[in-house]
Amino acid sequence: MKPIEAMTEDTAQHIADLLNSRNDLAKQYSARMILDEAKDYLWDARADCVIGAVRVQRVQWYQAEISDLSVHPDNGQSGIGSALLSRAMQQATASGARIAQCTIRDSNKPSIRFFTKHGFIPTIEFFYSLTGNTVRVFQRLITTS
């Protein structure tokens, strides 16, 4: 996993391509968008190719949003997603967040199973008219202190 080294434009483009190809997003990412928020991204790369990425963003004093967790299809079921989520949870904890949250479209059953398996529980759902998707909000308590 790599947030230790500075993100290059090439890495940012790989992350943008991965996010755009693996998610049904309301907006398409560009390398510039990723670079502008580079501090929020964790990624795993092999042979100069990004094979997984996740964004962790502090959104409230008590809450971190984990978004766009994506693994290259050639690396599915390899543990990369779980490792990225573990790092994301560590980063959220280190930032002082008490709750981790993610939003998942209702039709994305693999992501719902993944986050549920990792202790996230559904809290609320709503219709997002921009994409035409029903979206569920999942949360997980990080710490009680």
**What are the structural domain ranges in the chain?**
9-141
Question: Residue 87 CB: number of other CB atoms within 10 A?
Answer: 18
Q: What is the pLDDT of residues 89-110, one digit of tens each?
A: 999 999 999 999 999 999 999 9
> 20 — phi, psi (to 5°)?
-65, -35
Distance CA 68, CA 45 (A): 16
CB 62 within 8 A of CB 98: yes
Cβ contacts of 72 within 8 Å, gap of 6 or more: 18, 22, 49, 50, 51, 52
Which residues, at least 6 apart from 110, have a Cβ–Cβ distance to it below 8 Å?
none
Q: Taking the CA atoms of 24, 109, 136 and 40 in sequence, report the sign of the dihedral they define.
A: negative
Structure tokens at 101: 């949250």
Collapse the DSSP code of 87 into the 3-class scheme (helix H, G, I; strand E, B; otherwise coil) and give the result. helix
pLDDT (0 to 100) of residue 6: 79
9-141 is a CATH 3.30.750.24 domain: no
Segment 99-125 shows an average pLDDT of 96
**More confident of the two residues 73 and 30:** 30
Whether 73 has a pLDDT exceeding 80, the answer reads yes
